[in-house]
Amino acid sequence: MQITAHFDSGNIEVHDSSNAQHPLLKMRKDLNSHHFQWFHFKAEGLTPGQRYDFSIINAGESAYHWAWSGYHAVASYDQKTWFRVPSTFTNGTLSFGLDVAQEQIWFAYFEPYSRERHDWLIDQALFKADAELFACGKSIEGRDIQLLRISRTPNAQRKVWIIAQQHPGEHMAEWFMEGLIERLKLRDDAEINALLSKADLYLVPNMNPDGAYRGHLRTNAAGKDLNRAWQSANEAETPEVFFVQQQMRKVGVDLFLDIHGDEEIPHVFTAACEGNPGYTQRIADLEQRFRQRLVANGAEFQTQFGYPRSAPGKANMTLACNAVGEEFDCLSFTIEMPFKDHHDTPNPVTGWDGKRSKQLAKEVLRVTASMVDELR
Ligand code: ZN
């Protein structure tokens, strides 16, 4: 058996391959950082019908090591259809295995969203969804950070911003963006047309292309966590955030959504601005309506489980959601999707996946359309 991870978003090292049916593996740390939790590798030279097991022996040292319980790895024979493989976490080791059906198989922490697919998605937005490339930033390693604008009504009053994958291992975030753009391609979508008659959309499908390409969990190529950089963004270490902040200050923001994945909690949920110094009843009401409408529309979403609420005035202002909400006095959410599953509507075959991330995005657009008149 050969194991390789020298490709887009690949991450694994072979620690011990002496047992050809059960190699011991390790995840690599993010460059210039102590974080790691993302893995993605290919095993080839397999004998169909034979069982193989894989153990990642440093899982217990990873950034969210307590989150492996109840987690199941994803696998694919063709990099298109991904399925969950029963996994266990014991004594600091994550193990999974199966009777393989083909000579090669890929494993990952979550269904990967490739840079190649990202390039296709940008083309889809530009040529099928009337998007324009409003501006383009550069990552530390020179990768493009496209800021797309969808503007179908001159002088539309509202500016809706949606950014994704600040945390590069959270590939569900760009699947979400694909769902958004898929819906924006439709011509006879009354809700979208109503939204775009009053609002321009500003979309950043991938905030952290270096980290994603390198197979990072958490940081950019300088080892910086972008979602802790919104009070200190600079061109040297966090150009990705610096670029988007500059553009926001040119344009304004009336609604901000920052799309993420959560390692631990098996639910879709939001985090909001209740701890901001400038938090008001107006924002609280908007948050509540947005959440209630997502539930009422039947989206895979809930309001019971999530992060502990911040105490008044105690928000971490380095987070995008809080920083943007405070600066622009606007409705602002972090949307979190699970690495595991949404336990309100579990799917043991796929767990949470790209398809469900895309569908959630379409429901979020519906709710956004319903609230466009209420944002100011
Ligand atoms: Zn995140």
The Cα 215–Cα 340 span in angstroms is 19
Q: Are strands 104-108 and 131-138 parallel, antiparallel or unpaired?
A: unpaired
Task: Quote the distance between the C-alpha of residue 150 and its chain's center.
Answer: 21
Token pair for 314: 């105690």
Per domain, the residue ranges of the chain are 2-108, 115-374
pLDDT digits (tens, 9 = 90+) for 204-229: 999 999 999 999 999 999 999 999 99
Q: What is the pLDDT of residue 165?
A: 98
pLDDT digits (tens, 9 = 90+) for 8-54: 999 999 999 999 999 999 999 999 999 999 999 999 999 999 999 99
Q: In angstroms, what is the span from residue 227 Cα to ligand 1's centroid?
A: 7
CATH of the domain spanning 2-108, picked from 3.10.290.10, 2.60.40.3120, 2.40.50.140, 2.10.109.10? 2.60.40.3120
Q: What is the pLDDT of residue 222?
A: 98
Q: Is the pLDDT of residue 187 over 90?
A: no
Q: Kindly list the protein residues that place their beta carbon closer than 5 angstroms to ligand 1, a single-atom ion.
A: 167, 170, 260
pLDDT digits (tens, 9 = 90+) for 278-297: 999 999 999 999 999 999 99
Neighbour tally for 91: CB within 10 Å: 8
Q: In angstroms, what is the span from residue 169 Cα to ligand 1's centroid?
A: 8
> In terms of pTM, does the model score above 0.95?
yes
pLDDT digits (tens, 9 = 90+) for 157-171: 999 999 999 999 999
Q: What is the pLDDT of residue 155?
A: 92
Task: Kindly report the CATH number that applies to the domain delimited by 115-374.
Answer: 3.40.630.10
Q: What is the pLDDT of residue 246?
A: 98
Please count the residues of the chain.
376
- For 41-88, the three-class secondary structure string (H helix, E strand, C coil) is EEEECCCCCCEEEEEECCHHHCCCHHHHCCCCEEEECCCCCCEEECEE
Mean pLDDT of the chain: 97
Q: Between the CA of residue 331 and those of 125, 191, 309, 368, 375, what are the distances in Å? A: 25, 20, 16, 11, 7
Q: In angstroms, what is the span from residue 41 Cα to ligand 1's centroid?
A: 22
Mention every residue, 6+ apart, whose C-beta is less than 8 A from residue 27.
11, 12, 13, 36, 37, 38, 39, 56, 58, 59, 62
112 — pLDDT class (breaks 50, 70, 90) = very high
Looking at the annotation, which residues are catalytic?
A: 336
Q: In angstroms, what is the span from residue 166 Cα to ligand 1's centroid?
A: 7
Q: In angstroms, what is the span from residue 310 Cα to ligand 1's centroid?
A: 17
Mention every residue, 6+ apart, whose C-beta is less than 8 A from residue 179.
357, 358, 359, 360, 361, 362
130 — pLDDT class (breaks 50, 70, 90) = very high
Q: In angstroms, what is the span from residue 37 Cα to ligand 1's centroid?
A: 12
